[in-house]
Structure 1
Amino acid sequence: MADGIEGWAGRHWRWLTALAFILVAAWLLYQRWALIQGFAPVDTDDHMRIMQVRAWLAGQGWFDLRQYRMDPPYGANIHWSRIPDLPIAGLILLLKPFFGGAMAEKAALSLAPFLPMAVTMTAIAILARRLLSPPAFALGIAILFCAASVRGMWMPLRVDHHGWQLAFLSLVMLGLADDRRARGGLTVGIATALSLAVGLEMLLYLALAGAAIGLMWVRDGGEARRLAAYGASLATGTALGYLLFASHANRLPVCDALSPVWLSAMSAAGALSVLLGLFVRGGALQRLGLAALGGAALAAGFALAWPDCLGRLEGVPPELQRLWLDNVKEARPVYTHNLQTIVMMTTLPLMGLIGYAMMLWRTRRDGRRLTRWAALAALALVAAALLLWQTRAAAAAQLLAVPGAAALAWILVPLLRRRASVAVRLAGVALLFALITGVGPQWIASRFAEKPGPMRRAVGAANTRCPSIAALRPIARQPRGYVLTFVDLGPRLITMTHHDAVAGPYHRNAEAILDVQRAFRGSAANARATVARRGIDYVLICPNLSESTIYKNQAPKGFYAQLAAGEVPGWLQPVPLPKDNPYKMWRVVKPGS
């Protein structure tokens, strides 16, 4: 009976995958309905993406990605790409004639994240079929849905570029495991080019995937077609991505986006791959020597041509690193977080590594399958290790762990099915799935979570209330002006009101971010100088918002701490707000006013 069901599922996997997509999308809409109704994206990047799309639809140039509502009149330098803007803008234009502008925008922002979700789910389904068995697609999709960090990138209103980065990474995984070599190489090359055109967050994994294709070729000369196809599509795709999507700012030799730096590097890597794949016919040792020589030449050429890009790609000044970037939560190692977060982020990657190890052992005598599993395992191992550096690697680590975790379940479930008792089999499978996906350990960890104290409750309340439409509505009623407020509030402020802001959390705008940091940390006189130099009209704070706790803890006598305590200098005039409003706002008293 079970074999019959599995066989039926394996034959109808496309329809079942589509059904799973619809059910997951419906569930996520239900989960986020309140936020959708309140138009409350949870991340600053989502707000900036909204503003980027609005500006483009209002006539801003295709290659001009500056946000002129921030750091006026120069505008904030945003290093992103138009690629994620396309489906959002398309949905808005499609729906606007039927629902009006505001509703069309809300619907577009709710539906757009499902597009990369569909790509990822399909890629994982095909990958599980290729690596394990046709019915295993359902296991891959189920584990993927339980990957909390990945799932979070598909939530309605989550319209930044990370969902697309994960989608392209899933296609890279798919190409590495493709038995049709030329098609696999094309898939990896095109997905790599698209990912780089969107951003460089996945650069390390993409480079490892390219190295894996090279090592496949070293081991088996028959992989030459995969290597050549990869190189041709990488070089061509990156060039097209640069020509079509690189902004004016990214036409300069910057390190943090697809620019002449990475265009030259990927073009050279692609050309080398084509040359090796098409013209080298020697043995494995000769292939290894030539590949090593070519890789060394690429590395040396990059170091000589672009020495400034050998360190961290953000290239922020030390002061900005200390005052701002070191305090960004997702930039901290996983072990600095609470137990529940640690368990949520690490369980699936660890289960995936166990599954990969088991598959490497089981396929040790099958060279073709072994290389596929080894390539994916290497990417998963690096991603898991990166969690010890920054938790922003969690989504990629969980995605890359899915094939390994699915393999672990595929190996262990049959052992449980041999049990005589139906109840034992069902309970065993449920417990095993809860363990592998991390759902069970997360639930256990939540039982031991410390109850939040008064301060944590106050911060949580502020984080919920301050970005709300109700809280910002009185702010929006004030005459338009230039506002000094928190870095993390900047994108929400310009999205929901007509005011301009000094800065948002975007590293290219170091001086603007530093002005905010120095103003709230320094003396009132220092803040006054910044306000005068920039022509600020208002000062706006929301006490107990997460960012404010940093200012209060690290600069207890600074300008923010004084304002929060009611010590307001004479050059600020209070702006009346409703009593239940979480904000405090002041108008700057300018000379002669």
Structure 2
Amino acid sequence: MQSYSTKRNGAAQLLPYLALFITWAMVHTSLIVFRDLPVFESGLVGPDSYMRMLRVTELYQNWDWFDGTIERANAPYGDTLHWTRPFDMLIMLIALPASLGMDFEGALYVAGILVSPLLQLTTGFALAWAMRPVIRPEVWFLPAVALFLQPGALAYSVAGRADHHSLLLLVFVVTAGFTLRALRNPLDARPAVWAGASAGFGIWLSVEFLLPMGVCLVALGMPWLFGEREKASQNKWFALAASLLLLAALFAERPLERFLEPSYDRVSTVQFLVVVSILLFWRAAESYENRATAGTHPVGRLLLGLFGVTAAGLLVNSIHPLFFAGPMAGVDPRIQPIWLDLVLEMRPLIPQDRDSIGSFIFFFGSGLLVVPFFARLLWQERRSSSFWTLAFIGFACLLLWLVAIKHIRFSGYAEVAFIMAFAVVFDRFLQWTHRIHSDFSRGILRGCTITVLLLGPLTVGTTLMVDKADAKDASGQSLTACDVGEVAGFLETDPRWTGSRQTILTFLDIGPELLYRTDHAVIGTPYHRNSDGIYDSYWMLTSSDPGAVRAMIVERGIGLILLCQSPAERNFFSSAGDSLYKQLSGGQIPSWAAEVALPVHLQRQARLFTVSR
């Protein structure tokens, strides 16, 4: 009897985990079925996924660890990406089981399709662990499910999206979980060490993680400012762990001859200096607490903090002044108006018209519905031992939301912070509903509340957003454009192009897929370091100076010009005057070019032109 009861209790404990897995599987299956994601046709979603898989495949083929150059981009000069290696290695690790039944390059392809959904599932379980210090264990399931419904986070987690942002969200949840544990017990340095190491790994993945790390540092610093002198030691250990992790990242990412070379868009000595400056401050603060009784006064701490921030800022500014201009500090100003300002991830989410109001509600509605209740709860707990843990969540909601309004790419971080607030509020709400004696009434109230908070904003936002003239896939690309996979297949199989590598002038967003699917080269790719490729491809197809255009085409060694004729492409190359793009689109072909007769199934999709040398 006891054995049967034990087994039944074990099964009951596994049931929520099984339900979470089923929910995750249903979400991604429905996306494939109803959003018509091209998983079973082309496999990958968005240009970044193709470029990532090209990068991973080339690493597997040559194992040149420090060489991040894509030789066939920005032809004939090549282009060096700003990405780092951890996500590449994760894809390879996921590919290992699949490689038992297929060749390793095929296994890499499968891993590229599955990596982001698997990371999202892992993030759901990590969120359940992270929230244990502030909610009851039995409430973990709903916040984890809520994560799967957040549009910003989900956009980076769909099947076929081989994008490191899905890993960044997991690292953020882990870092937040350790930070909550550090805030709960100021005498325990271990959570702070793990939080710092996690934050350092996040910066290794992308320098944008300096923002979440800053949120954690402020959350750990505020209790020190208001009297918890032990927090100085905790912050020191946080910064020390982050510094050591970044030092390891520098050795892993850079050969010795370029070890000290600064980069603002990729982990380098710039970010290492910032974190070491933070470490030096907290080491000084710890010494000050141990030696000066005045250090126990908030005014003394405030003055010390102001001095430390000023000194660290001046130190970083004197060595790397462009750091404060952000990761895009070194971007070529020529590509700012024609491309960077138009990138979907970089656009703001400020409500201005019906469509932008709908987008704002769609991304942030659930969180903003919870914030007033969370703020009230934070005020009620202002003198309790849990105040600083809740304050961390509130500060994360505020700061990350403000940044996400400016750049939509940060919406996933804001959504995770909102889910943390939702978890706390909903836990208290469930405790309050125990006052209702009727099981039916209590169930109806809970169900309606969940529906309104999680699904209401998605429904309202979708209704308000203006339908576009053409459908978009999860990466924002038009589905009315040509099938790049079919065009690539033609270029790879037609005898005219298989004998020698061709350099193709085309729209930059389809460049990565052409590089992945063919052995040919392209000029433009949608990455800020390839400024020459972006600008030159734009200039050649929008210029009205035929002589200069012809000279640039010869200099670049261009053999083919491909027009995919998507709305995004036409918008990118739109310009006043008699441009080359308008000539080719209108059938006015220059004497040095000739149109290629495409197969019947491609004739209504694309136009291809050869260039005489």
What TM-score, normalized by structure 1, do the two folds share? Answer: 0.90
Which position in structure 1 is the counterpart of 2:71? 68
One-letter amino acid matched to 2:75? P
Tell me how far 1:78 sits from its aligned partner: 0.4
Q: The residue matched to 1:32 in structure 2 has which SS?
A: helix
Which position in structure 2 is the counterpart of 1:303? 317
Q: 1:325 aligns with which of 325, 340, 347?
A: 340
- Tell me the alpha carbon deviations over residues 143-192 of structure 1, each in whole angstroms, 9 at most, x when there is no partner: 21221211222222222210111111112211221034312211220111
Say if 1:481 and 1:279 are closer, same or farther in 2 by CA, change over 3 A.
same
Q: Is the 8 A contact 1:253 1:261 kept in 2?
A: yes
Show the 5 A alignment for 1:80-95.
80-95=83-98
Say if 1:344 and 1:518 are closer, same or farther in 2 by CA, change over 3 A.
same
Show the 5 A alignment for 1:517-536.
517-523=538-544, 525=546, 526-536=548-558
Q: Within 2, Cα distance between the matches of 1:455 and 1:372?
A: 43
Say if 1:455 and 1:263 are closer, same or farther in 2 by CA, change over 3 A.
closer
Q: Is the 8 A contact 2:112 2:162 kept in 1?
A: yes
Which position in structure 2 is the counterpart of 1:561? 582
Q: 1:173 aligns with which of 162, 173, 176?
A: 176
Q: Within 2, Cα distance between the matches of 1:112 and 1:448?
A: 33
Which position in structure 2 is the counterpart of 1:111? 114
Which position in structure 1 is the counterpart of 2:32? 32
Say if 1:569 and 1:424 are closer, same or farther in 2 by CA, change over 3 A.
farther
Q: Within 2, Cα distance between the matches of 1:453 and 1:155?
A: 23
What TM-score, normalized by structure 2, do the two folds share? Answer: 0.87
Q: Is the 8 A contact 1:483 1:499 kept in 2?
A: yes
Tell me how far 1:127 sits from its aligned partner: 2.7
Q: Is the 8 A contact 2:526 2:534 kept in 1?
A: yes
One-letter amino acid matched to 1:184? P
Q: Please tell me whether residue 235 in structure 1 is matched to residue 243 in structure 2.
A: yes
Tell me how far 1:560 sits from its aligned partner: 1.8
Stretch of structure 1 that moved more, 394-403 or 311-320: 311-320
Q: Please tell me whether residue 509 in structure 1 is matched to residue 530 in structure 2.
A: yes
Q: The residue matched to 2:581 in structure 1 has which SS?
A: helix
Which position in structure 1 is the counterpart of 2:488? 472
Q: Higher relative contact order by CA 8 Å / sep ≥ 6: 1 or 2?
A: 2
Structure 1 unpaired stretches of 5+: 1-7
Q: Is the 8 A contact 1:521 1:558 kept in 2?
A: yes
Which position in structure 2 is the counterpart of 1:541? 563
Structure 2 unpaired stretches of 5+: 1-7
Q: 1:388 aligns with which of 375, 393, 405?
A: 405
Which position in structure 1 is the counterpart of 2:137? 134
Q: The residue matched to 2:504 in structure 1 has which SS?
A: strand
One-letter amino acid matched to 1:313? P
Which position in structure 1 is the counterpart of 2:606? 583
Q: The residue matched to 1:483 in structure 2 has which SS?
A: strand
Q: Within 1, Cα distance between the matches of 2:121 and 2:464?
A: 36
Which position in structure 1 is the counterpart of 2:458? 442
Tell me how far 1:551 sits from its aligned partner: 2.2
Tell me how far 1:587 sits from its aligned partner: 0.8
Q: 1:407 aligns with which of 410, 416, 424?
A: 424
Q: The residue matched to 1:113 in structure 2 has which SS?
A: helix
RMSD over aligned Cα atoms: 2.9
Q: Please tell me whether residue 500 in structure 1 is matched to residue 514 in structure 2.
A: no
One-letter amino acid matched to 1:209? C
Q: Within 1, Cα distance between the matches of 2:360 and 2:92?
A: 37
Which position in structure 2 is the counterpart of 1:20? 20
Say if 1:461 and 1:198 are closer, same or farther in 2 by CA, change over 3 A.
closer
* Equivalenced residues, count: 579
Q: Within 1, Cα distance between the matches of 2:601 and 2:198?
A: 50
One-letter amino acid matched to 1:213? L
Stretch of structure 1 that moved more, 282-291 or 482-491: 282-291
Tell me how far 1:237 sits from its aligned partner: 1.2
Q: Within 1, Cα distance between the matches of 2:373 and 2:245?
A: 34
Which position in structure 1 is the counterpart of 2:4? none
Q: Is the 8 A contact 2:43 2:113 kept in 1?
A: no
Say if 1:349 and 1:184 are closer, same or farther in 2 by CA, change over 3 A.
same
Q: Is the 8 A contact 1:360 1:374 kept in 2?
A: yes
Q: 1:487 aligns with which of 482, 504, 508?
A: 508
One-letter amino acid matched to 2:286? G
Matched-pair identity in % = 22
Q: Is the 8 A contact 1:221 1:284 kept in 2?
A: no
- Tell me the alpha carbon deviations over residues 89-125 of structure 1, each in whole angstroms, 9 at most, x when there is no partner: 1233442241234541332113322453244223310
Tell me how far 1:209 sits from its aligned partner: 1.5
Q: Is the 8 A contact 2:47 2:513 kept in 1?
A: yes
Tell me how far 1:11 sits from its aligned partner: 12
Q: The residue matched to 2:608 in structure 1 has which SS?
A: strand
